[in-house]
């Protein structure tokens, strides 16, 4: 070490030793084991008549769920369901076809149901013209091209009452029992 650095090193060592002596010892706080806190989550109030049937058979997996956001905020307003190209799309409840055509290059069908509810489906190939009355479980379209889910075929299912989007999962049966969810992270 150069001769000019030796006094600096001694000074640094002395300051460090003084700091260690001058700091009062802090008593150790005993660790408290984290207890997971849970809350009961009841199923949401159904949009109308719980027990709507799923629009695909067999019951599909949900790839992406509904984002509960305000009316003008960005978000996903529906469900993305696993599907196969050409798979029949079924009416979840009695309804009437009120729109069938392309929107932004994708085939879309909209059904109107009791209580002012409308369901929308994309990408689909319409099999029933506007004005067709459908019974629950009746096929009205087939999954088309123009994947809503970029990497795989899926069906996007939307639900609205008037201008308000709703979570379609609240209407599809079975809802299932309440589930306990953690409020925070353990640890």
**Whole-number pLDDT of residue 150:** 72
CB atoms within 10 A of CB 153: 18
**Average pLDDT by stretches of 10, the chain with 187 residues:** 50 43 40 35 40 90 80 77 93 96 92 95 95 96 79 89 88 66 62
Beta bridge mates, 89: 141
Q: Are 97 and 128 in contact (CB under 8 A)?
A: yes
**Whole-number pLDDT of residue 146:** 64
Q: Are 109 and 97 in contact (CB under 8 A)?
A: yes
The residue ranges of DSSP E strands in the chain, in sequence order, are 38-41, 62-64, 79-82, 88-90, 95-103, 106-113, 117-122, 124-126, 133-134, 139-143, 154-161, 164-166, 179-182
**Whole-number pLDDT of residue 77:** 81
**Whole-number pLDDT of residue 54:** 94
């Amino acid at each position: 070490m150069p001769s000019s650095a030796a006094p600096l090193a001694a000074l640094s060592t002395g300051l460090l030793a003084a700091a260690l002596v001058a700091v009062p010892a802090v008593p150790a706080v005993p660790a408290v084991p984290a207890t997971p806190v849970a809350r009961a989550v009841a199923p949401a109030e159904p949009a109308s008549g719980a027990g709507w049937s799923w629009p695909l058979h067999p019951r599909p997996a949900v790839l992406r769920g509904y984002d509960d956001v305000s009316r003008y905020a960005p978000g996903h307003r529906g469900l993305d369901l696993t599907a196969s190209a050409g798979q029949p799309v079924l009416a979840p409840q009695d309804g009437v076809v009120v729109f069938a055509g392309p929107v932004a290059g994708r085939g879309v069908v909209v059904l109107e149901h009791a209580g002012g509810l409308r369901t929308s489906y994309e990408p689909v190939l319409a099999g029933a013209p506007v004005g067709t009355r459908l019974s629950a479980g009746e096929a009205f379209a087939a999954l088309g091209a123009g994947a809503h889910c970029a990497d795989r075929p899926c069906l996007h299912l939307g639900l609205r009452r008037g201008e308000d989007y709703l979570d379609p999962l609240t209407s599809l049966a079975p809802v299932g029992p309440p589930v306990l969810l953690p409020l925070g992270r353990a640890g």
